[in-house]
Amino acid sequence: MQQKTKIGIVGCGNISGTYLKVARTFDILEVAACADVIPELAQAKAAEYGVPKACSPDELLADPDIEIVVNLTPPAAHADIAIRALEAGKSIYNEKPLAVAREDARRMLQLAADRHLRVGCAPDTFMGAGLQTCRKLIDDGAIGRPIAATAFMLGRGPEPWHPNPEFFYQRGGGPMFDMGPYYLTALVTLLGPVKRVTCATQMSFPERVIGSGPRKGNKIAVEIPTHIVGVLEFAAGAVGTLITSFDVWAHQLPRIEIYGTDGTLSAPDPNTFGGPVKLWRPEKKEWEEMPLLPLRAENSRSLGVADMAYALRSGRPHRASGALAYHVLDLMHTIHDAAREGLHISMASVCERPAPMPLDLPPGQLDE
C-alpha cells in the first residue's frame, strides 16, 4: 500500500464538501486540515467530514506534515495562496482557473520547477468515465482522423440564482473564465494543444439584475464580454469552434462534438465525470450510445489531487498538470486578445496530452 499523502484544504465554500467527501475514497489521501479566512466555515467542514484540524490559511501553510495544498479559494486568490504554498515547500492543486493573470501562473510554475514541487489544477473531469471513453474511441480510430470540433456553453448567466454575482462580470469572470476551463481542457485532452486562435466577442447587456437573495432587484455593471465565439486551430490539424455565452435564453446545441474522417463523436457535459457518449458511423447511419469505461462516472472532484499524490510517490507526470492548466489559461486570454485586436494569434504555450487513465486497478487506487 502506498504511503498516505497528507493534504490540506484552503477555502471551505460549497465545492469543498465534494472534495472532502471524494478524497476519503482514495487510499493515498489523508485530509489533515481545512482552513478558511472565516473560522466558522473551517470548523463546520472539519466537524462534518471528520477532519482533525480546522485552522487559518496561515496555520495550514505552516504545517510541516501537509504535502499538498488544495486551493479552493475564489479565482482572484488562487495565485497568492499557490505561491505562498510553494514557498512553504508544498505542492499545490488549484481549483480552476490556475490563476487570473498569465504572469502569476508563470511565476507559480517556475517556482515549482525550481523547488521540485508539483502544480496541479482543476478541472479533473477529463479523467472520468465519460471523457476517457471519448479519448479511447478517438485514439482507437473509431471516427478516423479528427478534422473538426464544436463546443457550446450557452446560458443566461448566474444572476437569476446567485445572490452576489458581481465577480462573474468582472475581470477574470465571464462565461469563458467561469466555464471555459471545462470545455477547453476537454478539447485539449482529446485533440491536443491549440496552435492559433481568432475570436469575436460582444457585451450584449451593460447591466444585469440580481434575481435572488437580499439584494434582489439590484443592478450590477458588466465589465467583460459575455458572448465569445472562438476559432481554434489545433496543432494536430483539427479546427474547432467554441462559443461561451451568458446571453442566451435557450438553445438545442450539443455540448461537444468531434468530427472525423470516418464518423462523429458526441461527448458529454465536460463539467461531469460521466456520460452519455454517442458515436455515429456511416455503416450504421444512426447514433449509438457507447458503454463507458470502468472508471468514475459520479462527481469525483479530488481525482486530480489523488493522481498528483500518486505521481509524487512514483515520479511519473500527473494528469491535471500545471502545464495543461496554463495552456488553457493562455488560451482563454489569447481568445480575448484576438477579439480585441482583430487578429489571428499564435499560441505562446504548449502542453502534452495527459496519459489515459489506467483501467485495471481496484477502486481507490490509481497506481500499482
Level-2 CATH architecture, domain 5-121: 3-Layer(aba) Sandwich (3.40)
Strands 239-245 and 146-154: parallel
Answer yes or no: are the C-beta atoms of 252 and 148 closer than 8 Å: no
All cell numbers assigned to 123: 478541472
Answer yes or no: are the C-beta atoms of 126 and 152 closer than 8 Å: no
DSSP code of residue 321: B
Answer yes or no: are the C-beta atoms of 187 and 135 closer than 8 Å: no
Q: What is the pLDDT of residue 171?
A: 84
3-class SS letters over 272-291: CCCCCCEEECCCCCCEEECC
Q: What is the pLDDT of residue 1?
A: 54
Closest by CA position to 240, among listed 217, 213, 258, 265: 258
How far is C-alpha 283 from the geometric centre of its chain's CA atoms?
A: 36
**Residue 13: how many CB atoms within 10 A of its CB?**
14
DSSP code of residue 262: T
What's the CATH class of domain 126-289? alpha beta
* Residue 247, Cβ density class (10 Å: 0-12 exposed, 13-18 middle, ≥19 buried): middle
Q: How far is CA 206 from CA 34, 67, 175, 223, 323, in A?
A: 39, 45, 15, 8, 35
Helix H or strand E encompassing 182:
helix 174-191
Q: From CA 138, how far away is CA 141, in angstroms rounded?
A: 5
Write out the chain's pLDDT in tens, 368 residues: 568 999 999 999 989 999 999 999 999 999 999 999 999 999 999 999 999 999 999 999 999 999 999 999 999 999 999 999 999 999 999 999 999 999 999 999 999 999 999 999 999 999 999 999 999 999 999 999 999 999 999 999 999 998 889 989 988 889 999 999 999 999 999 999 999 999 999 999 999 999 999 999 999 999 999 999 999 999 999 999 999 999 999 999 999 999 999 999 999 999 999 999 999 999 999 999 999 999 999 999 999 999 999 999 999 999 999 999 999 999 999 999 999 999 999 999 999 999 999 998 888 899 97
Q: Say whether pTM exceeds 0.85.
A: yes
Strands 219-221 and 207-209: antiparallel
CA angle 257, 258, 264 (to 5 degrees): 90
Q: What is the pLDDT of residue 316?
A: 97
Closest by CA position to 292, among listed 272, 308, 311: 272
**Sequence-distant (≥ 6) Cβ neighbours of residue 79 within 8 angstroms:** 99, 100, 101, 104, 105, 107, 108
Ordered by start, the domain boundaries in the chain are 5-121, 126-289
SS percent in the chain: helix, strand, coil, step 5: 35, 25, 45
Strands 68-71 and 256-260: unpaired
Give the type of residue at 148.
Answer: A
